Amino acid sequence: MIPLRQIAFARSGDKGASANVAVFARSPAAYAWLRDHLTATAVEEYFRPLGVGTVTRFEVPNLEALNFLLPAILAGGGSRSLRIDAQGKTLGMALLEMPVDAPAKFFSRS
């Protein structure tokens, strides 16, 4: 198992009480692997401790990216949430720590 960050980079941001995390493959082969393995279900399971709702995944093949919508993950978000990270700034970094069973040949950075 390797952390996702070895084959991808990411960016998270907020939308009201929801957030999105975009995951970008570091190589075309890594994109093919992510498309098959980094499912909405896997991401939803990973973020469950933060109270996420049903995750939607959008494929963005032209950017070799997957965009995940994470409803209700910010405990109210904006000015309401009491959390240190009310705006989902850390979620991209958090997802990149996910252990994935990706083959070693994808390790190289683009």
Partner 1 sequence: MIRIANASGFWGDQPDAAARLVAQQPDLDFLTLDYLAEVSLSIMAIMRAKDPTAAYARDFVEVLRSLVPFYQAGGKTKIVTNAGGLDPPACARACAEVLRATNLAHLRLATVTGDDVLPALRADPAAFANLETAAPLSSVAPRLVTANAYLGAGPIAEALHAGADIVITGRVADPSLTVGPCRAHFGWGETDYDRLAGATVAGHLIECGTQACGGFSTDWLDLPDNHDIGFPVVEISADGSCVVTKPAGTGGAVTVPTVKEQLLYEIGNPGNYLSPDVTVSFLTLHVDQFSENRVRVSGATGRAPTGAYKVSATYRDGYKAHGLLTIFGNDAVKKARYAGEGILRRLAARGCVYRETLIECLGTGASVRGLASRMSDTHLVETVLRVSVAADTKEPVERFTREIAPLVTCGPQGVTGYATGRPKILPIFGYWPCLIDRAAVRPTMALLPP
Binding site for partner 1 (CB under 8 A): 5, 9-11, 13-18, 20, 22, 24, 46-50, 58, 60-63, 65, 67, 69, 71, 77-80, 82-85, 90-94, 96-97, 110
Please give the sequence-ordered ranges of beta strands (E in DSSP) within the chain, or none if there are none. Answer: 2-3, 8-15, 18-25, 56-60, 65-70, 99-100
* CB closer to partner 1 out of 15 and 35: 15
User: CB of residue 81 vs partner 1: minimum separation in angstroms?
Assistant: 9
Distances (CA, A) of 78 to 22, 53, 85, 105: 20, 17, 10, 41
- Confirm if 52 and 42 have CB atoms less than 8 A apart: no
User: CB of residue 103 vs partner 1: minimum separation in angstroms?
Assistant: 21
* CB closer to partner 1 out of 33 and 77: 77
* CB closer to partner 1 out of 13 and 103: 13
Distances (CA, A) of 22 to 56, 65, 89: 12, 7, 12
User: CB of residue 100 vs partner 1: minimum separation in angstroms?
Assistant: 14
